[in-house]
Amino acid sequence: MSRILTALQPSGVLHIGNYFGAIEPMVNLQAAGNQNLLFMVDYHAITVTQDPAELRRNSLFAAATYLACGIDPEKTILFQQSRVSEHTELAWILNCLVRMGELERMTQYKDKALGKGESVSVGLFDYPVLMAADILLYDTEVVPVGDDQKQHVELARDLAERFNKKFGETFTIPKPEIRKQGARIMALDDPEKKMSKSAASEKNFISLMDDEKTVLKKIKAAVTDSEGTIRVSPSRPGITNLITILSLVTRRTTKEIETAYEGKGYGDFKTDLARELTAFLTPLQEKINRYLGSPTELLRILDNGAFRAKAIAEKKMIDVRKKIGVTL
């Protein structure tokens, strides 16, 4: 049995990339008898300006979405990062081991900080260390991530090995698990980039809450190319991305899709993709709204998850404090 950890920011917008890249794999892992932890990284969220009331709403929405997608709170510990103070305590200790150059090389930081100069917060620079603490605190063995996050898991591995070498065996060395298909669904408006809920344009992504009209509009506007055939190719990222999405929502192989659309154009393909996406999203949206209609139950589930997570975290931090010499 493995201990597996997944974390997502409570942004208020979860998209199909989040679903297929992180949530669905976690749901599937529940059946394998693993010990799973899933939490909303609200302290990561505040590395950029947040409205407090909106952050609270977004956290409840995220919890409702995870449950609607099939997360079972009996099999998966579901909680808020901020409810377990050991995350930030361990992050500070790891800060004293990490090197500035390691954080400066983080590609996500460089992308997000581009053009911001000295206005970039220390939190944004340092958030890979908090992510490492998130992982190591629970002796996580497997971290399902998109390939863009692999570098952060590697930093967690480096810090675990560094700590263990200096203070004695303490942390499990985690390994990233990249889902080959769906781990990185690309942006509809720029298929060279990852689908992102923080994108400037909503044409970038399909939200799990998009209605039929919105889905059709976004898919119709999705970038393809001038070739016009429904074929997967590394040189054709736009249509390849759309074929991947259709494959994921219909459970058909990309080869089956290519065969089905032989001789057909983008118009037919995009109309069918929008219809299949709507059919996939509608029952999910109904479940999300049912959970949002029961906030007391949502809070009960999160309270219980925080209690279970803190029991693990407290035990680990007792050991860490002894190892570094702060326990008298």
Least confident segment among 120-134, 144-158, 199-213: 144-158
Q: Which tens digits make up the pLDDT trace of 172-198?
A: 999 988 765 556 799 999 999 988 877
The CA distance from 146 to 21, in Å, is 6
On whether both 119 and 158 belong to a single domain, the answer is: yes
| Same-domain pairing of 97 and 239 | no
- Quick one: 52 and 123 in the same domain? yes
What pLDDT was estimated at residue 90?
98
**Is 150 in the same domain as 249?**
no
Torsion of CA 97, 42, 298, 143, to 10 degrees: -50
The CATH number of whichever domain residue 233 belongs to comes to 1.10.240.10
Do 282 and 318 share a domain, yes or no? no
CATH number for the domain harbouring residue 305: 3.40.50.620
Annotated active-site positions, please? 112, 194, 197
Q: Quote the CA–CA distance of 37 and 3 in Å, as a whole number.
A: 8
112 in a structural domain: yes
Q: Which residues pair with 5 in a beta bridge?
A: 37
Residue 106, pLDDT > 60, answer yes
Mean pLDDT of the chain: 92
Digit-coded pLDDT (tens) for 231-264 = 999 999 999 999 999 999 999 999 999 999 999 9
pLDDT attached to residue 113: 64
170 and 218 part of one domain: no
pTM for this structure? Answer: 0.85
Residues 118, 11, single domain; the answer is yes
Question: What is the rounded CA–CA span in Å between residue 21 and residue 226?
Answer: 29
Q: How many domains does the chain have?
A: 2
46 and 101 fall within a common domain? yes
pLDDT band, very low/low/confident/very high, at 289 (cuts 50, 70, 90): very high
Q: What angle do CA 289, 210, 198 make, to 5 degrees?
A: 105
Assess if residue 22 is contained within a domain: yes
Question: Could you read off the pLDDT of 215-235 as tens digits, one per residue?
Answer: 999 999 999 999 999 999 999
Residue 292, pLDDT > 90, answer yes
Same domain, 267 and 306: no
Whose tokens are 């303490």? That residue is 170
Rg (CA), the chain: 21
89 and 230 share one domain: no
- 128-142, 172-186, 294-308: range with lowest mean pLDDT: 172-186
pLDDT-derived band at 110 (thresholds 50, 70, 90) equals: low
Span 70-89, pLDDT tens digits: 999 999 999 999 999 999 99
Averaged pLDDT for residues 128-132:
96
Question: Is the pLDDT score of 150 beyond 90?
Answer: no
On the question of pLDDT at 277 being above 80, the answer is yes
The answer to whether residue 141 sits within a structural domain is yes
Higher pLDDT, 278 or 27: 278
Kindly tell me if the per-residue pLDDT of 98 is higher than 60: yes
Across the range 152-166, mean pLDDT stands at 97
Query: Is the same domain home to 133 and 248?
Result: no
In a domain, 190, yes or no: no
228 and 301 inside one domain: no
Range of the domain at 250: 209-289
Per-residue pLDDT tens digits for 57-75 = 999 999 999 999 999 999 9
107: exposed, middle or buried (Cβ count in 10 Å: 0-12, 13-18, 19+): exposed
Cβ-contact 231, 216 below 8 angstroms: no
- What is the C-alpha to C-alpha distance for residues 90 and 74, in angstroms, rounded to an integer? 27
Three-class SS string for the chain?
CCEEEEEECCCCCCEHHHHHHHHHHHHHHHCCCCEEEEEECHHHHCCCCCCHHHHHHHHHHHHHHHHHCCCCCCCEEEEEHHHCCHHHHHHHHHHCCCCHHHHHCCHHHHHHHCCCHHHCCHHHHHHHHHHHHHHHCCCCCEEEECHHHHHHHHHHHHHHHHHHHHHCCCCCCCEEEECCCCCCCECCCCCCCECCCCCCCHHHCCECCCCHHHHHHHHHHCCCCCCCCCCCCCCCHHHHHHHHHHHHHHCCCHHHHHHHCCCCCHHHHHHHHHHHHHHHHHHHHHHHHHHHCCHHHHHHHHHHHHHHHHHHHHHHHHHHHHHHCCCC
For 325, residues 6+ apart whose C-beta sits below 8 A from its C-beta are: none
pLDDT at residue 29 in the model: 82
The pLDDT assigned to 180 comes to 56
Question: Residue 229: phi, psi to the nearest 5?
Answer: -100, 155
* pLDDT above 70 as % of the chain: 95
Q: Is the pLDDT of residue 2 over 90?
A: no
